Structure 1
Amino acid sequence: MSSRRLTPTLIRALPLSATLGMSRAEQILTRPAFLSGLLLLDQQISSCHFVVAIISPGCQTPANESILISASPVFKAMFSPRFTEGEQILKGERPTIALQEDDPDAMRTILRILHFQADELSLKMSRATFASVAIQVDKYDCRRALRGWTRAVWHTNMFDELQGVTSTDIGLTVLAAYKLRFRNLPKIATNAMEYLKSDFLEEWEQHETLSPLPEDLTGHMHEQITRELQYLRGRLYEHEYEFLDEGVDRGCQMKGRVCPPWFGNILQVDVLMRPRTHCTRCSEPLVGQWCMRTSRLSEYLNTLIHANLYPLDWAFRDHPMHEILESVRDLSITHYHKCDGGTQCPLVSSFLSQLRDAEEHFDRVKAVQFNYGIEDTPRVASGKDTPGVASGV
């Protein structure tokens, strides 16, 4: 079915006398300039009709049947002769469509955009509000008609930035991308996994708005997060047991000297990196320190505590994956261990090994693929559009 832009000769505008008594919105919808801008998919429509959309009790608004038909296959079917609304139009009556089961604010927003009033709406919007609009857009299958507006809202509010965002809002972001059929939904879901805690699925399942998310998507995300966190936690446990299972208790002289009351803190040296003889805090004599099996285990656990990675059960329950991965990556540069063993010291070698593990996990998480039939996507400000669709975020 081809499409063409309507002109006043295709849709006859009402004469001025016929608009008397109409509301301002109805008068605007009958102006020739307004009608000439309509792009209708059904060329058989040859007249302009109004319907009354009841958004909520006590709140109704006029709507142009031609606009609704061109924007939504759902409305097109509703106004066909097979349904009551279509029969009323054929009889010259003004049909009433009840939208009371839908989110009133979301439907009001959609109707205003479809009737060329988008410039009166603010692009600043919360993730919850945007998700509500996306749900109604999907219900009435008018994604293409609102594509430009949804792109603008997405990028204005930087919805692809998830750091510091609550688990619920992350879910609403994924839901909006899913309902709007963004092509980069797999990338959005993969990015979301880095900022979710291990118990996110329980919270999402209890949230009524997030219920439309498909179980295979949320289940895959939860499975992937659980698998990666279990692997990282297991690796931290393994390094702990490795210190206990060392066959030979190799000892290395520590660089610098320590104060017994402040054991475990930074080794005390002066500005020229020469060992001090007395503690700068308590003036007690400093003593030498050896890197041994027990001291390595103690320092290892102490380093994990300072990195919020110990106790392991608490750390892996209360922190999102990206924080845990960053903490593990930072172990190799945040520890204060310095001994004559250098990088051959079992403790330093352990930290370097965990750094490699974390880097590999970052790559694995970012490589996760979700396969969904997606139609649309928000456009990057600096990107180029692909014919028919937009480029990825």
Structure 2
Amino acid sequence: MNKLVIGNLVHRPLRSLISVFAVAIEVIMILSIAAIMFGMLNGQKVRTSGIGADMITHPGAASNLIGVSGAAASIKVADVLRPLPHVTVVSPVNIKLSSGATLENIYGIDFKSFQDLRPFIFISGGPFQAPDDAIIDDYEAARGTGKKVGDPIQILNHTFRIAGIVEHGRGGRKFIPIDTMGQLIGTEGKASYFYLKLDDIKNSDAVRAEIKATPGMEQYDVQTMEELLSSLTPDKMPGFNVGLRTVIGIAIIIGFLVIFQSMYTAVMERTREIGILKSLGASKAAIVGAVLRESGLLAVCGIVLGIAATFGIRAGLHAKFPTMDFELTGNWIAIATLLALAGALFGALYPALKAAAKDPIEALAYE
């Protein structure tokens, strides 16, 4: 029976290849969308953690989604926070979500206080020397033909000079002076968030209480960085799970329909062959098993091709877009494999049952 299954696939190479490619596309869609979405989310978590702050505070109306809130607070709030007990560093930042060549957060920073949170590790160059200076990380510098200190760079439709290149992992990939950021986007003297460094993280509750007790700060949201990072999950991201499930659902439907069409047509074409098998004593279970084995073999070939192609896509994207986070995990490879295999088997189930239900006499008389 196994030889018969393989023979059927080899006898119809074009249909077999189309089915394999359909399953491969299903796997690629599932893995790629999951890798991109989780890569963006987890990449942001890693970079936010790398800032080096212990706490973050912002006006209550602002969002925890870094970059999507406007600059709603005065930079002078930093002067109110610095004298509080246990607070050693306060760094105001103005973060702007930019949708230029890529979707990214541009950080407007006060260099000294931001450096005090956790020092930049400069690969070349150094701090801002002028209002139109920018600092970029090594991934951004490697993009395209490569950038070096002194080169011009377009940020927020404005030409900056690269003053320094730093190791990646400090919140964003591009940093400009906070005053320049305010002038460019019309938020002069404003900040989106205030990052705090404490003498001891154990004092976070006391600092939170002090901030809330400060006149004018009652409505500010205050979180430890651990609390902020724990909120960056798919369940708390608007539309994250909806988008992920929609794409996965479409991918499963594609695989299901192609396998269904392929197996249904194959069963119709092999009516006489099925009649011969049943007249020789093949049971309904044996007929169903043969059809399901055939679809299973197609699915396995498609899954292997899809996984290999996804790794190829990841390598290509990393070469073309080094700043892009593409997180391909074993967990999602297993999920994609199970979904594709289940979709293929369910797609073949009705054709298999239809084949098993054929009357052997009618099947033998079929032309």
For the aligned pair, the TM-score class normalised by the smaller chain equals: under 0.3
Larger radius of gyration: 1
| Relative contact order, higher structure (CA 8 A, sep 6+) | 2
Q: Which structure has the highest strand share of the two?
A: 2
Instruction: Calculate the TM-score normalised by the size of structure 1.
Output: 0.22
Q: Which structure has the highest helix share of the two?
A: 2
